[in-house]
A and B are shown apart, each in its own frame.
Chain A
Amino acid sequence: MTRAPHTAPDPHTIAGPHRIAVLGAGVMGAGITALALGHGIPVLLVDTDEERLGRAHDDIDRELRMAQLLGTLPATTGTGALEAATTTDGVGDVTAVIEAITEVTELKAKALADVSARVRPGTPLISNTSSIPIDELAGHAERAEDVVGTHFMNPPYLIPTVEVIRGARTGDRTMTAVGALLTALAREQVVVRDAPGFVTSRVLHPMINDAARVVQEGTASAEAVDALMEGCLGHPTGPLRTADLIGIDNLVDSLRVLHQRTGDEGCRPCDLLLDKVRQGELGRKTGRGFYAYQEEN
């Protein structure tokens, strides 16, 4: 069992109020920030790219409104305060750091090393990754026991379950703290062991790669593949619409990591995915991927 017992005291009363730092203002960073703010938790959002920080404000606002529209936020809690910064100077007193930068091992390792030198020891350093083994990242932090992985799905406010990855060196205290934070965010956690792609990416990403390959080979259109996966197999959105939601560049990065580390040829990103990345058709975030998302007015 990975869930805290129902008799556990409210995490707010034992640990004081949460205040988190989110590193990276991309799709996931903005989404996790919106989820936290919507549950009344203040967020320091850090990104070195000032322009992206600016865009993230709009994204976060849109996601908060969408969450409210769909009734997925607590009605009584006020929205947490958002602070944005281009450096990690202000992370000293946060209760947790969620790192959600680009899915490249070296960049994530560097970010964790930097931030671990600035926070109080024992502050959980949560790496949000879809496939990089947590223990590899943990070695770059000052205290490997503080490092834990999460894999939030997009959009975080809509998906009730979070995959939590316990690295070989992750401490019990860190596991407890991450559980308390997820409880405050009203997410269910499922804890799994550290491995390339963990569970969800290891299963889902090669399947999306195969779905794209089927389109590449001319067997069926993207619409037909999704319609079959939805209508016959009960997939909620279809694999290729999911690829557009993940971001095709992120998907390719993740498939490369999986391919390198498992040797599974099914994880080698297919040509159609690579073409889409070259053409900048990255999915929803660029307005076009397997589908077009332009607004028509």
Chain B
Amino acid sequence: MSDFDTEATEKEILRFLEARTKRAWETDTDLFASGGLSSLFAMELVVHLEKAFAVSVRGADLRLDNFRTVESMTELVDRLRTTSAGGTGA
């Protein structure tokens, strides 16, 4: 989709991360690497992305790798919004 705003999406994900974890993150940091977040936090990310961007993360997209970095989450949101805008629903 041409109207997808990568920067705004990254900014929103960063804002949520910083509010929940009380620390600053880079868009390419592996959130679950050693010293990072518990993988249990990934579900909070799933729920937040679904609410904030009106997407539904299902099936094969439910992989930890999709939630490792702000960049990978933004790519996922972009792809899911494109799919649902194409009329296939979610």
Contact = CB atoms under 8 A, between A and B. Distances in A.
Interface in A52-108: 62, 65-66, 68-71
A71 B19 contact: no
A66 B42 CA distance: 8
B25 interface: no
Interface stretch (B3-11, B46-54, B70-78, B80-88): B46-54
Interface in B19-59: 19-20, 39-40, 42-44, 46-48, 51-52, 57-58
A68 B67 CA distance: 13
A295 interface: yes
Contact of A296 (B20, B42, B43): B20
Given A69-B43, A70-B39, A296 B64 contact: no
Contact of A62 (B43, B48, B52, B63): B43
A71 B46 contact: no
Nearest to A68: B62
A296 B62 contact: no
Given A71-B64, A296-B16, A297-B16, A65 B48 contact: no
Contacts of A62: 43, 47
Interface in A100-159: none
A26 B4 CA distance: 41
A297 B43 contact: no
Contacts of A65: 43, 46, 57-58, 62
A69 B16 contact: no
A143 to B, nearest CB: 40
**Contact-residue bracket for chain A:** 10 to 19
A296 B47 CA distance: 12
Contacts, number: 34
Given A71-B64, A295-B44, 10 more contacts: A62-B47, A65-B57, A66-B42, A68-B62, A69-B42, A69-B62, A70-B39, A70-B64, A296-B16, A296-B20
A66 B46 CA distance: 9
A292 to B, nearest CB: 12
Interface in A185-232: none
B31 to A, nearest CB: 13
30 contacts: A62-B43, A62-B47, A65-B43, A65-B46, A65-B57, A65-B58, A65-B62, A66-B42, A66-B43, A68-B62, A69-B39, A69-B42, A69-B43, A69-B63, A69-B64, A70-B39, A70-B42, A70-B64, A71-B63, A71-B64, A295-B44, A295-B47, A295-B48, A296-B16, A296-B19, A296-B20, A297-B16, A297-B48, A297-B51, A297-B52
Contacts of B51: 297
Contacts of A70: 39, 42, 64
A70 B42 CA distance: 9
Contacts of B40: 66
A297 B45 CA distance: 11
A66 B63 CA distance: 9
Contacts of B47: 62, 295
A66 B41 CA distance: 10
A295 B50 CA distance: 14
A202 B16 CA distance: 40
Contacts of A69: 39, 42-43, 46, 62-64, 67
